[in-house]
Amino acid sequence: MRAIAVERGSEGPTVIERPRPEPADGEALLRTLRVGVDGTDHEVIGGSHGGFPEGEDHMVLGHEAVAVVEDPNGTDLSAGEVVVPTVRRPPAAGANGYFERGEPDMAPDGEYVERGIVGDHGYMAEYFTSPPEYLVAFPEDMWEFGFLTEPVSISEKAFEHAYASRSAFDWSPESALVLGNRSLGLMTLAMLEFGVDSDRSFAEHDFERTYCLGRRERPDPTVDIIEEVGATYVNSNETPLETVSEDFEAMDFVYEATGYAPHAFETVEALAPNGVGALLGIPDSWEFEVDGGRVHHELVLHNKALVGIVNSHVEHFEGAIDTLTELPEWLLDDLVTTVATPEDAKPAFEYGHDQIKAVVEFDRL
């Protein structure tokens, strides 16, 4: 079968041939429909994040997938069912407490592998196998957008953790700022603007004013989407993050999805008293000057919080599916700018400004 992989020493992804996997006992065989590409895939391809499966010279890419059950192989799945797989799996040493508790997303380095990212092959192949506990049923009539479940699940987790960090007092947020205007940033902005996170912790508060910061000049398709969802575009060439609170307003919630390391610290300045920032970017080592005293002072004297967020678990996937069914279809259509084939997957990895979300389509339902 065809698969798209990174090979040691290669410049970019290549199409390789691999044997179709045989499901082990307790695993089902899945036929891949679509696999999305995000900023992390570019970081993996560039070598700044993730790692090859032990002893192998290549790794199949892809962690945002939607697939159909080809062979349930004795599991309680049904042939033909549409499912989305989670990303983390137990390490070679076997399942640990994080997996047993259903919270593999909270496991530290070394206590998990991630399919298509860290130490395990991903989903960019015609078939893959998985135990059923890592698969979540997805509505058939929306299968084309199933691969968006994984990224939306990350924001479900971010909202849950950010909200929990403010739950000890009466928090009434009104303003939210998303940093980054590609796929993760734009989907999260829409969730905030349309108030559609599944546990309703944020939606209940109904953010009255939402903003998205990017570094692009108009005309630009992502700026059009920001304005169509009803948010305000902040051009960081005119208003850097440090001065957002003066030029616009101090924010109750900031969601960082740029991977630009200075934003982690500048977020503290952009937050309103009692505000919370969720950091999602995964930068490589990066040295720069920071007024650490100022950051410390602001965090303490204004009860601000920063939470780092990575990965998600099955409940976040279930929440993400509810959320996806509530987002307007025009938005999902506008976000998916590139549908590539496995024979010619190159366009899915091109990173032009016209590309927001790219997907490789292996098969259709």
When asked if residue 154 is in the footprint of ligand NAP (CB under 6 A), the reply is: yes
Instruction: By CB under 6 A, tell whether 310 contacts ligand BGC.
Output: yes
Least distance to ligand NAP, CB of residue 307, Å: 11
Residue 88 binds ligand NAP (CB under 6 A): no
Residue 102 burial (10 A CB sphere; 0-12, 13-18, 19+): exposed
Interatomic CA distance for residues 243 and 164, integer angstroms: 27
Q: Under the criterion CB under 6 A, does residue 251 sit at the interface with ligand BGC? A: no
3-state helix, strand, coil in the chain (%, to 5): 30, 25, 40
Nearest to 283 by CA among 306, 310, 305: 310
State residue 295 phi and psi, 5-degree precision: -60, -45
Kindly state the smallest distance separating residue 182's Cβ from ligand BGC, in Å.
Answer: 12
- The single-letter DSSP state of residue 210 is E
Closer residue to ligand NAP (CB): 129 or 155: 155
Among 23, 27, 38, 234, binds Zn ion (CB under 5 A): 38
For residue 79, the one-letter residue type is: A
Q: Is-contact 228 189, C-beta < 8 A?
A: no
Nearest residue to 250 (alpha-carbon basis) of 236, 266, 238:
266
184 near ligand NAP, judged by CB under 6 A: yes
Is residue 193 within the footprint of Zn ion (CB under 5 A)?
no
Binder to ligand BGC among 117, 176, 229, 331 (CB under 6 A)? 117
Q: Is 156 in the site for ligand BGC (CB under 6 A)?
A: no
Residue 70 interacting partner from ligand NAP, Zn ion, ligand BGC, none (CB closer than 5 to 8 Å by kind)? none
Closest separation in Å from C-beta 365 to ligand BGC: 23
Q: How far is the CB of 150 from ligand BGC (least distance, A)?
A: 6
* Of 16 and 106, CB closest to ligand NAP: 106
Q: Does 214 bind ligand NAP (CB under 6 A)?
A: yes
**By three-state DSSP, how is residue 256 classified?**
strand
Cis peptide before 219 (omega within 30 of 0): yes
Task: Give 32's strand partners.
Answer: 67
- Reply yes or no: is the peptide bond before residue 132 cis, omega within 30 of 0: no
- At 347, is the secondary structure helix, strand, or coil? helix
Q: Residue 246: what are its φ and ψ, rounded to 5°?
A: -85, -45
40 near Zn ion (CB under 5 A): yes
- Please tell me whether residue 70 binds ligand BGC under the rule CB under 6 A: no
Residue nearest to ligand BGC (CB): 40
Per CB under 5 A, residues contacting Zn ion are 38, 40
Per CB under 6 A, residues contacting ligand NAP are 38-40, 43, 151, 154, 180-185, 213-216, 236, 257-260, 280-282, 309-311
Per CB under 6 A, residues contacting ligand BGC are 38, 40, 63, 87, 114, 117, 150, 154, 282, 310-311
